[in-house]
Amino acid sequence: MRSFASLTQHVWGLFTSERQPGWKKLLQLFAVCCTASFISSSFLFLGLYSSLTNFPLVTLAIVASVWIALSIALFSSKCVRCFAALFVLSCGLREGRNALLTAGTGIVAAGHIQSIFHNIKVLADSITCNIEAEHFALIKHYVEAIQWIYNQLKFSNNPFKDIVSLSDEFNTFYIISDEGFKLRLNTTKQQIQSVTSYISSILAIQPYISQRLLPLMGFILIVLGTYLFIRKFVSTQSAKFKNIYITKRFIEFDEQQKNQQKPSVLPLNKKERKVYLTIPSLSLTQKEKKNIGCFFLPVFTNLCIWALFAAIDYMLYWLIFSVSKHLQELPEMEVHLKVYYQKNEDNFIINKGKVIQNNFHLKIPLFKHDCSPKPEFSLLSTWIQIGVITFFLIIFGLFSSILVQLKVLVSSSFYPNIEMTRIHYLHSKLLRYREKPPQKNVKRKFNSFAQTLQFWFPIFKAMGTIRKKEKDMINENKV
């Protein structure tokens, strides 16, 4: 275990220092840089392989090029090594949180928003399909009844068949003036088709955005955040930037001051321990607790928005599914048509013939089963990915203070001179704070005085003064 710790310390010392002369040192540094770049390229390969599944050779070429270029860059410059180390730590901080939230928004857009528009389109298509499939069965049966009456009359006996012969011709047809209805239906279909085409064009771009553009935006956010952190750390005002941590070198400096009979600041008092923290440590200051709360606030907001889209998607799915189920269970409308006439065989004027009737039975469906909508709901596939993102966001939020401590320690390892400047500033700041005389707490005295009854009712104070004077006068008279 000690050998592993010493090896890790030696590797970290090589990684954080400038290039030293000697081919052994250079070879060791190059091996460390190649290993670090290989690990980074492996994660890049996993990300590109999910986006470029159809182009594995392109993915391998990109990853190999990045590995070679990153190895050379890490070996050449200490600033690049510092940037790479801070970039890895920034993936778990606010920049990484923003990247994960961006990816989660893309997943919700790909899943629920696309499903919402798809279900609306399915509902519109079902309505137009059912209207188009509506047939006029009742009118057709009325025509059949009239044709049946004609056939019965045609084959009836002719009372003057010895004198004249009768010939007739009977044609039936019907016209339904539904041109306006058809025009409105076609206009509605064209409007639905245009809106569907517009939404489909937008949703066709969405997978490209969620799989390629959003990860790129997240990467840019992390790079920008890392650059701003390094810029603040190495600036002229770096002594005030996140300088609330007591590091190992600070403790050594304070012991050195104590050995030289100079004022020291360790150990910290109770009030100072609430502001300044010895790192690495799992304990949190009040400010760090507030920072963790601020870290989780956008996470909670985005989760609520994602859950709202999921609820809308599910409610629309459930509404379409339940309505479709009830419409399919509706019984068909039954229509009974009874047609009859009296047949006179021998009498021409007196109507006492035989009654002949025919029953027409037809069923008209209220809803066409072929036009029933079939909605979709992709809860499982979407929220498995959202669950993974939420898990990492929770982990990053809980360990965000530790990652900030590690960023400060890593930056101090790469820039020891700036670390000493920060140590001197913090040490002198603590000494100045302790040398200040305790100020009178005027506000507390005012609050204690404001709690008395005489403050709010001065008349009681005046009455008390008068009584005291009266008692003094009585005592003087007695004397």
Predicted confidence at residue 236, as pLDDT, reads: 76
Q: Convert the pLDDT of each residue in 392-416 to its tens digit.
A: 888 888 888 888 888 888 888 888 8
Stretch (H or E) spanning 341: strand 333-343
Tens of pLDDT, residue by residue over 105-137, are: 877 877 777 777 778 878 877 777 776 665 555
Cα-atom radius of gyration of the chain, to the nearest Å? 44
Q: Which residue has the higher pLDDT, 448 or 153?
A: 153
Residue 356's beta-bridge partner residues? 341
Q: DSSP string spanning 361-428?
A: EEEE-SS-GGG-------HHHHHHHHHHHHHHHHHHHHTHHHHHHHHHHHHHHH-HHHHHHHHHHHHH
Judge whether 89 and 229 are in contact, CB under 8 Å. no
Q: Which amino acid is at 137?
A: A
What is the mean pLDDT of the segment spanning 291-302?
87
Q: What is the pLDDT of residue 137?
A: 53
pLDDT score, position 450:
47
Q: H-type helices in 209-247, by residue range?
A: 214-234
The reported pLDDT for the residue numbered 406 is 85
Measured between alpha carbons, how far is 301 from 290 in angstroms, rounded to an integer?
17
Q: What is the pLDDT of residue 443?
A: 47
CA distance 212 to 52: 9
Taking residues 351-378, report their average pLDDT: 69
Domain limits, the chain? 1-76
| Average pLDDT value over all residues in the chain | 75
Average pLDDT on 219-237 reads 82
Q: What is the pLDDT of residue 446?
A: 45
| Mean pLDDT on 294-320 | 87
Strand bridging mode 333-343 / 277-278: unpaired
25: confidence class by pLDDT, cuts 50, 70, 90: confident
- Which of 17-21, 97-101, 148-152 shows the lowest per-residue confidence on average (mean pLDDT)? 148-152
Model confidence at 101, pLDDT cuts 50, 70, 90, reads confident
Confidence at 266, pLDDT banded by 50, 70, 90: confident
